Amino acid sequence: MRENDGMRTAGINHLALVCRNMQETVAFYDGILGMPLVKTVALPDGGQHFFFDCGGGAMVAFFWWPETPAAAPGIAFVEDFPSKPKSAVGSMNHLAFDVEQGELSACLDRLQAAGVKHVPVVVSHDDSPMGVAAEMHNGVFVQSVYFTDPNGIMLEFAATTKTFTPEDVRHEPRGATVEV
């Protein structure tokens, strides 16, 4: 592990997103996902900024304004998972909430009962060429349930299934040559 002489953080405080309708956002995050609404702010321009407790001392927050540009699926966020999983540089691909592995089935049931668009199975991620496994095995490092919120934002309930070691960092970073 390398030394870090720079800034130190204690984790994520909050992630701020933009919603199309604060009422449906409160109904989804507080009502369906059970993330308590803990702070509301009325903005001077007529907008709102609301914060939801997503556990572990972190929050997910939303801005809403009376006039906001339309959603941009495939640019600002994933257009359709798993068939079109990419989003643009600088966008948010998805937001994953940490859950216990034993809670994943209950998460699926709750999403189904609420009529939330979701991938209908628990996805087991591993280091195989496809990156997913049909069954749980020692190489699975996280199990996930993917779904979308009313704004089309891709969300995930994620359960880490192993402790990472230095051997888990074995790929060199890649990318196009960038001219400065």
> What CATH number is given to the structural domain containing 21?
3.10.180.10
Contact present, 100 and 153 (Cβ < 8 Å):
no
Which H helix or E strand runs over 13? none
Verify that 55 and 92 share a domain, yes or no.
no
Distance CA 6, CA 9 (A): 10
- pLDDT above 50 for 170: yes
Cα distance from N-terminal residue to C-terminal residue, the chain = 30
User: Torsions phi, psi of 40, nearest 5?
Assistant: -125, 140
* Locus of tokens 């909430």: 97
- pLDDT above 60 for 74: yes
Query: What pLDDT, on the 0 to 100 scale, is given for residue 1?
Result: 45
Reported residue count of the chain is 180
Does a structural domain hold residue 98? Answer: yes
Query: What pLDDT, on the 0 to 100 scale, is given for residue 66?
Result: 92
pLDDT band at 88 (very low <50, low <70, confident <90, very high): confident
Sequence letter at residue 66: P
Predicted model pTM: 0.85
Query: What pLDDT, on the 0 to 100 scale, is given for residue 14?
Result: 94
Does a structural domain hold residue 75? Answer: no
- The count of domains in the chain is 2
Distance CA 68, CA 160 (A): 36
Inter-CA distances, 98 with 1, 37, 119, 142, Å: 24, 18, 17, 10
Residue 27 structure tokens: 């109904």
Sheet of strand 95-98, all strands in order from the earlier edge strand to the far edge: 95-98, 154-160, 142-148, 123-125, 132-133
Verify that 97 and 156 share a domain, yes or no.
yes
**Mean confidence (pLDDT) of the chain:** 91
Residue 62 structure tokens: 């939303």
Query: What pLDDT, on the 0 to 100 scale, is given for residue 78?
Result: 87
Residue 100, classed as helix, strand or coil, is coil
Domain span holding position 60:
11-67
Verify that 152 and 103 share a domain, yes or no.
yes
Does a structural domain hold residue 34? Answer: yes
State mean pLDDT over 93-105. Answer: 94
Does a structural domain hold residue 2? Answer: no
Query: What pLDDT, on the 0 to 100 scale, is given for residue 177?
Result: 66
- Chain-centre distance for alpha carbon 45: 28
Looking at per-residue pLDDT, the higher value among 178 and 19 belongs to 19
Which H helix or E strand runs over 24? helix 22-26
User: Torsions phi, psi of 161, nearest 5?
Assistant: -110, 0
Does a structural domain hold residue 59? Answer: yes
Beta-carbon-side half-sphere exposure of residue 10 (alpha carbons within 13 Å): 4
